[in-house]
Amino acid sequence: MKIGFFLKDIGNNQIAFDLITEINKYLKTNKDDAITIFVENIESPVKTPSCPVMQATEVWSYTGNVVATSVSTATKLIQAVSPKRKMMLVHSPEWFNQQNIVRYEGIHQVFMFPRLEILTIDETYNKLFLACFNREPSLVWKDFSIKQLVEHLNNERAKQ
């Protein structure tokens, strides 16, 4: 299975650390799966990933499933034509901060884009997202488990 993760960067931040840790762990036992990290900003990684890291523009031609991790990466992902499935992980309520309240309309358009699946990191974020946007996330993705994400993608594919 081809899965891409679209991050702002893989520098010194918690989501990059957690995601790279899980990717590295998953790829040790699942060598046939192809995982790629896409980044908006090139920085020294917080941890060395055991998968390719590509610039954001490369997501346009990527034909796998892609998970965005911020409003800005989701905005770019929505515009990309090649990804098979487009998802966004809600791991922090970035739309709540004072600067983003002004940009609510744009943020709302991203979250309501019909072909963008919403994933949350726990039940609290799941309830918060549902309350704020009246839209049910498709998965509570616990501990960045790549295995759980692959199972979700396979289950959804079987339904189609």
Lateral strand order in the sheet of 2-7: 53-55, 34-39, 2-7, 65-68, 86-90, 116-120, 139-140
SS3 track for 60-76:
HHCCCEEEECCHHHHHH
Residues contacting 100, CB < 8 A, separation 6+: 71, 94, 107
> Is this model's pTM higher than 0.85 or not?
yes
Domain locations in the chain? Answer: 2-149
Which range among 29-33, 98-102, 129-133, 147-151 shows the weakest confidence by mean pLDDT? 98-102
Gap between the Cα atoms of 108 and 59, Å rounded: 22
Instruction: For 80-128, write each residue's pLDDT tens digit.
Output: 999 999 999 998 776 666 555 556 777 889 999 999 999 999 999 999 8
Instruction: For 22-47, write each residue's pLDDT tens digit.
Output: 999 999 999 999 999 999 999 999 99
What is the CATH topology of the domain spanning 2-149? Rossmann fold (3.40.50)
